Amino acid sequence: MHTEHFRPKKQVDIEDDPSQRGYWWLGAAWKNLLPACGHCNRSPGVDHPTGLSYGSGKGNRFPLLPGSPRANGPGQENAELPVLIDPSYEEPSHYFTFRVLDDLSFATIKHLKTTAEQFRATGTMEILGINRDGLVRMRTAHLKSVKYAVRGYIKAAKVLNQAIAGNAPQPVIDQCQTDVQQEWDELYDTYLNPSRQYLHATVRLVESELCSAGLKLSSLLQGRDLHLPAASLV
């Protein structure tokens, strides 16, 4: 994990603006610092260990929307219209969702209201390599584990319901309740804790699986944190 300058402090890539010499006044500004994976933080080029070329990576990229002014001094950045989405100020799930295609989990752009939003979503996806091969495969493997865990919870919940409906002895019901709680605790702690990676994709999958079983994620959280927009939860 790297600490990345959202607006490049020394120079802006010539592809975006050959005349801009960097946002030097934001070099130590907290609002301009973001955590970034190594791939997102590098510049497009050649991977020296493998010799393979790659086209994504932020590096010193900082494109603006057509017609946007480019800042050249302190305070002027407030008038800019960046292409890249800053997740500390904007909710990425407004722009992206996740879908499984050919058994692989891809980020896809939502149906957005404006051309500017579409432009920003496309630019962010391409520059950061959100659907690069390695990330897609890691995300897919992660979601397969999530699916296994949520189905384990659903299975335990069904066993509990059957025990209650069948008037099973109280010790049996108590054990079933314990099993359900253990499955839920493991699912939340391993995959839904706010610090976990792939959280938006995970929530989408968990919601879908629970909905198929007649359950709602929002009802199961019971006060536990899940730092996603309330509108994301069914």
Please provide the average confidence, as pLDDT, over all residues in the chain. 87
Q: What average pLDDT score do residues 15-31 get?
A: 88
Q: What is the pLDDT of residue 50?
A: 40
Contacts of 76 (CB under 8 A, 6+ apart): 69
Predicted confidence (pLDDT) per residue in 225-234, tens digit: 776 654 454 4
Identify the band that residue 220 occupies on the pLDDT scale cut at 50, 70 and 90: confident
Of 164-168, 191-195, 230-234, where does the model show the most confidence?
164-168
More confident residue, 158 or 21: 158
Contacts of 200 (CB under 8 A, 6+ apart): 92, 93, 96, 98, 228, 232
pLDDT at 53: 45
| pLDDT at position 46 | 42
Taking phi first (over 0 means left), then psi (-120 to 50 degrees means alpha), and beta for anything else, what does residue 223 get? left
At residue 142, the pLDDT reads: 95
Instruction: Check whether 16 has a pLDDT greater than 70.
Output: yes
Tens digits of residue pLDDT in 90-121: 988 899 999 888 889 999 999 999 999 999 99
When pLDDT is averaged across residues 194-213 and rounded to a whole number, the result is: 90
The DSSP 8-state label assigned to residue 112 in this structure reads: -
Q: Are 210 and 216 in contact (CB under 8 A)?
A: yes
| Residue 19 predicted with pLDDT over 90 | no
pLDDT exceeds 90 at position 32: yes
**Nearest in space to 185 (alpha carbons), one of 215, 158, 211, 149:** 149
The full set of domain ranges for the chain reads 2-130, 136-232
Answer whether 153's CB lies under 8 Å from 135's CB.
no
Q: What is the pLDDT of residues 44-85, one digit of tens each?
A: 544 433 444 445 778 889 999 999 999 999 999 999 999 999
